[in-house]
Amino acid sequence: MGIVLFGGTVVNYDSVKSQDVRIDGQIIDRIGPGLEVSGDEVIDVSGCYLFPGGIDPHTHFDLNMGNTMTADDFATGSRAALMGGTTTVIDYATQSRGQSLSDALAIWHGKAAGKSFIDYGFHMAMCDCRDEVLAELAMLAIHHGVSSVKLYMAYKDVMQVDDASLLKVMRVCRSAGLRVCLHCENGDIISEMVKSAKAAGKFSPEQHAATRPEAVEAEAVYRAICLTEIFGCSLYIVHVSTERAVNLIREAQRRGLPVTAETCPQYLLLDESYYEKADFEAAKYVMSPPLRNRNNQAALWQGLADSTISCVGSDHCSFNWIGQKELGRDDFSLIPNGAPGVENRFGLMYTFGVEAGRLSLQQFAQVTSTNAAKLFGLYPRKGALMVGSDADIVIWDPTRHSVIRAENQTQNVDYNTYEGFAQTGAVRHVFLRGKRMVKDGVSHVAALGEYLPRNPMPIGEGN
């Protein structure tokens, strides 16, 4: 017995069509008119869009940030993602110094297995680039299904790697078919600026932004592009926040370099004025890169619309304001960096992308799902509503209106980054591999998420 989704509008990265969809088991069996087979359950989805399940390529669940753990683990974070229309996350399995990559990966499998409500893959986030660790890289894709590696040019003395290490990793990744995800901020400059601010007696949260100016991102993006030009690996620049970075990336792409990019709703929708909030509320928005001058936002939207930027990730890295962000009440440099957003990414992009006329429905599908699947080795299993693809389907009711409130959220954190934002449209049902995980906006079932081994990506492909 199958399930027929009847009367909706099917949105893919390249088409919008009034079509029915039949699910058989875990996959999409047929698309078109008159699909019902005797015994099928027929669900009327008239007036709704059917979107490919959202893919969030940038989350940090159950991450130790040195002085505290993220508020969301795989259970709470994945459930929040699901409620918001995301059916796959690619989380950053993060190595500690001195640790092997296989040990770090085994720990991340332990954090997610049996707990995740949605399917998940891992990028490997590296900070220790010893020769023994580099030797493990090629095995990641072949034996473990991890086809992307993240490095940080920021977070000095913690996660930051120097250029020599970056080059070594790029060289291996090029031959092994791994994509390099890069956090582009110059950590040495930031470290010096933080020291100067503190020496001048400046300790409040707005100093977080003051010590990470736009040039810090622009310099790192330019350096990363130059390194890619020399070593030729596929580069994916995470959480791009400035117009300058978008322009550098566009120019690199025009020159044919294998450079792709991601931005996040916070850089598209919030701005540096949030750091003026009194009574330590500004700490809720301490993230890296920081929120920017509003003038950058048009360029980020344009980057999405013209495909300079491929993906929207949430960079979900949640900390409670009470008790966690408060660790930095007397010193901004101790505020844990990051903000929640996995639950709201999909709805915000629909509201401020599609409804606001900045993105077409197809572009919405591309930036919230398809492009991440293509770049990270999940396509066409994920990221498309096609015969044979996993039946990961979001039934989206565009007539609903709501206001984002922390008190209504599933994320396990005491605030919402987008508190008070009006949202157009809402999740009605969500299917994960054919199972209705959300029914009429309510989640019913257990943690059925599975690990997704991902394919390596030959250089030049999917860029």
- Give the binding site for ligand URP (CB under 6 A): 60, 183, 287-288, 315, 317, 337-338
8 A C-beta contact, residue 95 and residue 152: no
Which segment (26-34, 117-125, 225-233, 309-317) binds Zn ion by CB under 5 A? 309-317
Nearest distance from C-beta of residue 314 to ligand URP, angstroms: 10
Cβ of residue 275: shortest distance to ligand URP, in angstroms? 14
Out of ligand URP, Zn ion, none, which partner does residue 287 contact, by CB within 5 to 8 A per kind? ligand URP
**Residue 71: half-sphere exposure toward Cβ, Cα within 13 Å:** 25
Q: Taking the complex as a whole, how short is the minimal distance between the CB of residue 375 and ligand URP, in angstroms?
A: 17
Question: Which residues lie across from 4 on neighbouring strands?
Answer: 22, 42
Task: Count the Cβ atoms, other than its own, within 10 Å of residue 342.
Answer: 33
One-character DSSP codes across 256-296: T--EEEEE-HHHHH--GGGGG-TTTGGGGG--SSPP--GGG
Span interacting with Zn ion, options 133-141, 274-282, 310-318, 399-407, rule CB under 5 A = 310-318
Q: Centre a 10 Å sphere on the Cβ of residue 226 and count the other Cβ atoms it contains.
A: 13
Smallest distance from ligand URP to CB 15, Å: 34
Q: Which region among 83-91, 279-287, 311-319, 426-434 touches Zn ion (by CB under 5 A)?
A: 311-319
Task: Name which of 54 and 425 has its Cβ closer to Zn ion.
Answer: 54
Q: Which residue is nearest to Zn ion (CB)?
A: 315
Nearer to Zn ion, 343 or 392 (CB): 343
Minimum CB–partner distance for residue 274 and ligand URP (Å): 14
Using the minimum distance from each CB to ligand URP, give the nearer residue, 88 or 160. Answer: 160
DSSP state of 399: E
Task: Say which entry of Zn ion, ligand URP, none residue 244 contacts (CB below 5 to 8 A, set by partner kind).
Answer: none
Q: How far is the CB of 27 from Zn ion (least distance, A)?
A: 32
Cα angle, residue 115 at apex, residues 113 and 117 outer, rounded to 5°: 115
Query: How many residues lie near Zn ion (CB under 5 A)?
Result: 1
Q: What is the three-class DSSP state of 421?
A: coil
Decide: helix, strand or coil at residue 380: coil
Kind plus residue range of the DSSP H or E element containing 227: helix 214-231
Q: Which member of 29, 119, 315, 392 binds Zn ion (CB under 5 A)?
A: 315
Site string for Zn ion, 273-292 (x = CB under 5 A): --------------------
Using the minimum distance from each CB to Zn ion, give the nearer residue, 206 or 315.
Answer: 315
Count of CB atoms situated within 10 Å of the CB of 315: 30
Token couple for 280:
């330590």
If contact means CB under 5 to 8 A according to the sort of partner, which of Zn ion, ligand URP, none does residue 337 touch? ligand URP
The span of 133-141, 276-284, 307-315, 450-458 binding Zn ion (CB under 5 A) equals 307-315
Least separation in angstroms between residue 14's CB and ligand URP is 31
Residue 35 binding target from Zn ion, ligand URP, none, CB below 5 to 8 Å by type:
none
CA 290/CA 444 separation, integer angstroms: 37
- In this structure, are residues 91 and 63 in contact, taking their beta carbons and an 8 Å threshold? no
Spatial separation of the C-alpha atoms in residues 437 and 454, rounded to whole Å? 23
Q: CA 326 to CA 323: how far, in whole Å?
A: 5
Nearer to ligand URP, 325 or 381 (CB): 325
Q: Residue 360 burial (CB < 10 Å; 0-12/13-18/19+)?
A: middle
Q: What is the DSSP letter of 352?
A: I
Q: Which stretch binds Zn ion (CB under 5 A): 83-91, 149-157, 229-237, 315-323?
A: 315-323
The entry of ligand URP, Zn ion, none near residue 371 (CB within 5 to 8 angstroms by kind) is none
CB of 327 to ligand URP, least distance (A): 14
- Could you tell me how far CA 456 lies from the centroid of its own chain? 19
Cis omega (within 30 of 0) on the bond before 456?
Answer: no
Neighbouring C-beta atoms of residue 9, cutoff 10 Å: 18
Helices (H), 366-402: 371-375
Residue 290, binding choice from Zn ion, ligand URP, none, Cβ under 5 to 8 Å by partner class: none
- Cβ 453 to ligand URP, closest distance in Å? 23
Nearer to ligand URP, 20 or 315 (CB): 315
Q: Return the SS3 of 53.
A: coil
CB-based contact 141:176 (threshold 8 Å): yes
Nearer to ligand URP, 5 or 335 (CB): 335
Nearest distance in Å: CB 338, ligand URP: 3
Interface residues toward Zn ion, by CB under 5 A: 315
